[in-house]
Structure 1
Amino acid sequence: MATLKALITLQGAKCITLGTKCFSTSTVRERKSYKLVVVGGGAGGCSTAAKFARKLGKGQIAVIDPAETHYYQPYWTLVGSGLKDVKDSGRPMRSVLPKNCDWIQDKAVAFDPDNCTVTTSNGELINYEYLIVAMGLQLNYHHIKGLPEAFDMDDTICSNYSRATVVKTFPALQAFKGGNAIFTFPVSPIKCAGAPQKIMYMAEHYFRKTGKRDQANIMFNTTLGTIFGVKKYAESLTKVVKDRNINVNYKRNLIEVRPDKKEAIFTKLDSDSGETETYHYDFLHVVPPMSAPDPLRLAKKIVNETGYLEVNQHTLQHMKYPNIFGIGDCINAPTSKTAAAAATQCHIVFQNLSAAMAGKSPHAEYDGYTSCPLLTGYGKCIMAEFDFAAEPLETFPIDQGKERLSMYHIKKDILAPVYWYLMLPGFWNGPKFWRLLLHLGMDTAVKPKQVPQQT
């Protein structure tokens, strides 16, 4: 009914367009109108809203998000490893949004870029002059047969990617007596592509610490053809899995879980016949396929063929609608989807959207910076930082391809305060300044290597 009401309301709308600004009036119901609407209250949405709230002032910005709680999701690897409590990963959404923006606690279900409106699930139309889409990714556990129901049926199945299932991970590690411990990587872009193997390394180390390692056969069944997408770090991780006797099975995609038989079914992606393999599991960590959220994926005018917001990968401005910008996991920029990427993108969006508001062309360019602190054990971390070209773009003047205690403590103890107290309030623009400072003013980026626009 809400969708039907939204369609009726949209049909009754009239739009006046002035340059890139739209002002809509409706004969059906009164609408809320804002200079800037941000769809999504995650890392990218909160941080950009904070920057523009200071610039535009009270009543000019709205953030649309239904969630009561904002989660720092990178914490969940630490929760699954027994290092942190899940309750410390979340804070009330109201507490992290800027005070002088309006919070529309509802779900965006439709986009009309021609009339400059967003429709919420209760049928309300929200007018905007400018729009930032920051909707993150959708977890599609249901694309794997047997899930999500199997989580409730079998305590040995867990996943660090959901608030509801991350609390199962460490208890499952504690209860593990031996056998096959399987970790998966799905056939889709995902949040933090290093996270599926981080928990594997932590589990392997935990089994060693508790005397269970000799009874454990640890497997990483990944859809990819390599352990990691950046050569430097792939070489380091290949050595890690070899030294720790971890079995890596490439081109394997989890399609079904049978909790009654404790079986996991994988398709062999390198088989033309669609051949499958069945593995018995005694511990199973599942990473679900992911996609742009359904409402965005179905907004055909603003997304590409795979359902991601279609922006210029450097300016983060929409390819067709210049009053729309994107940030974070839901955009089609070809870089790993992390909070670190969103932090750098936030600075680019702020500069370029501010320019657009002033009638100028975007000038700031995103280089694809992203970071993945690859925990390889309790007290060990490889700090991967890289750009669009999959070339290292490291902040510290040391070899970050090596396992280091210092990088472990940055991941465990420093990044969360940076997130809560600097990034979300809009004060953290990524580590570029510090990288230049620590490298004595020399930019360590590889120049320039053109990367094709893709998802």
Structure 2
Amino acid sequence: MTVNSAGQFDVLIVGGGSAGIATAASMLKRDGKISLAIIDPADDHYYQPGWTMVGGGAFSSEFTRRKEKDLIPDRARWIQSAVASFDPDNKTVRTVDGQDFGYNVLIVCPGIKLDWEAIDGLPETLGKNGVTSNYRYDLAPYTFRLVKEMNSGTALFTQPPMPIKCAGAPQKSMYLSCSKWEKEGVLGDIDVQFHNSGAVLFGVKEYVPALMEYVARYDAHLNFESTLVAVDGERKIATFEQKQGEDSQRVDVAFDMIHVVPPQVAPDFIRSSPLAAENGFVDVDPATLRHSKYPNIFALGDACSAPNAKTMAAARKQAPVVAVNALAALRGKPPVADYDGYGSCPLTVERGKIVLAEFGYGGTLLPSFPNWLI
């Protein structure tokens, strides 16, 4: 690529979500003289963790949306476009509208792709026929509508294979729905089923007993190694691939309501780029979040390959680490900060109560509160 008059920057950030904006603000606070630009095509910025609460009736959907222009730091330039490709050898990025931008340091944090099409029949029936998902802004209110209207029948909640963002959200949707049904006195007439592609309820075992208390309280039926592969909305049939020893079989389950969490993958322009690891995400050192091959490139948030939980809490912890390490790289120095893998899942188990799961790499417990408060 050849850089045209569109611009050359000390720091170029791909992605204007929470990770990108936090990193930009952190860097500009530390050094207001650098030239910094954020590339992101969106008009709106969403507080995505709030969508679960919208589906539970605790938030309005509008509460979770802000204008992107109001959140971009004052000293950052906003390039409202989408990235098409990377040329790390020439330190340039090309956007879909044909502009080339040069950088000294690149920070990549465009989020994750929700692969709705991976489930047969799902795109055609989302938002109707009792099929919903809190992983979309426009569908979270439909979730709460279904919950309010349901007095009996079968309610299914699904969780796809990892990695996914906010791994606690699939359960939270179930717990909040059950809490509402319990309050309305109809829970006993509803068959609640949780279908999880994984083999355990939660990946950090220390939090499982507290969650199981609510599973028992709500009489929810757990189905492990059960992956949603198809949805027939008109017939209200969900098809699961369920592991049976060394084999697997497809099982059809009738539903009145189903909350679907789609499989998730790295964005296409990341997976096809020279920045990608084998799993498709940006290949970084888990501690420094610096690219394994290009020392002037960093990544954070859902798009990076670090084996942490993909949560907004993780991005909050990653942002200052990337900020100081990127500034060091800008000055020709090695990384100076490490990320410990911190992530948190505030698992809302009933209206007004949570199980706060906080952990780092390898499931190490990293509680924010002293032991005497727990």
Instruction: Give yes or no for TM over 0.5.
Output: yes
Residue 350 of structure 2 corresponds to 377
The question of whether the paired residues in 2 share the 8 Å contact of 1:256 and 1:266 is answered with: yes
Q: Deviations over 1:34-56 (max 9, x none)?
A: 11100001111000111223344
The question of whether the paired residues in 1 share the 8 Å contact of 2:105 and 2:329 is answered with: no
Query: What is the correspondence of 1:1-400 to structure 2 with a 5 Å cutoff?
Result: 10=1, 13=2, 25=3, 29-57=4-32, 60-154=35-129, 156-270=130-244, 272-299=246-273, 301-398=274-371
Q: Deviations over 1:284-330 (max 9, x none)?
A: 0000001111111111x211111000000000010000000011111
Q: What is the CA–CA distance in structure 2 between the aligned matches of 1:231 and 1:354, rounded to whole Å? A: 38
The runs of at least 4 consecutive aligned structure 1 residues that moved more than 6 Å come to none
Q: What is the CA–CA distance in structure 2 between the aligned matches of 1:209 and 1:31, rounded to whole Å? A: 58
Q: What is the CA–CA distance in structure 1 between the aligned matches of 2:333 and 2:28, rounded to whole Å? A: 20
Q: Aligned Cα RMSD in Å? A: 1.5
- The code of the aligned residue for 1:347 comes to P
For normalisation by structure 2, the TM-score amounts to 0.96
Aligned-partner SS, 2:139: helix
Q: What is the CA–CA distance in structure 1 between the aligned matches of 2:138 and 2:113, rounded to whole Å? A: 15
Aligned-partner SS, 2:122: coil
Q: Deviations over 1:396-450 (max 9, x none)?
A: 124787xxxxxxxxxxxxxxxxxxxxxxxxxxxxxxxxxxxxxxxxxxxxxxxxx
The question of whether the paired residues in 1 share the 8 Å contact of 2:13 and 2:108 is answered with: yes
Q: What is the CA–CA distance in structure 2 between the aligned matches of 1:271 and 1:135, rounded to whole Å? A: 38
Question: Where does the alignment leave 5 or more consecutive residues of structure 2 unmatched?
Answer: none
Aligned-partner SS, 1:148: helix
Q: What is the CA–CA distance in structure 2 between the aligned matches of 1:315 and 1:270, rounded to whole Å? A: 41
Give the total of aligned pairs: 374
Q: How far off its partner does 1:338 sit?
A: 0.7
Q: Deviations over 1:258-288 (max 9, x none)?
A: 0111000000134544410100011100000
Q: How far off its partner does 1:134 sit?
A: 0.6
Q: How far off its partner does 1:244 sit?
A: 2.5
Between structure 1 and structure 2, the one with the greater Rg is 1
Question: Where does the alignment leave 5 or more consecutive residues of structure 1 unmatched?
Answer: 1-9, 14-24, 402-455
The question of whether the paired residues in 2 share the 8 Å contact of 1:59 and 1:102 is answered with: no
The question of whether the paired residues in 2 share the 8 Å contact of 1:316 and 1:349 is answered with: yes
Instruction: State which drifts further: 161-170 or 320-329.
Output: 161-170
% identity of equivalent residues:
39
The question of whether the paired residues in 1 share the 8 Å contact of 2:266 and 2:280 is answered with: yes
The question of whether the paired residues in 1 share the 8 Å contact of 2:122 and 2:232 is answered with: no
Q: What is the CA–CA distance in structure 2 between the aligned matches of 1:352 and 1:320, rounded to whole Å? A: 15
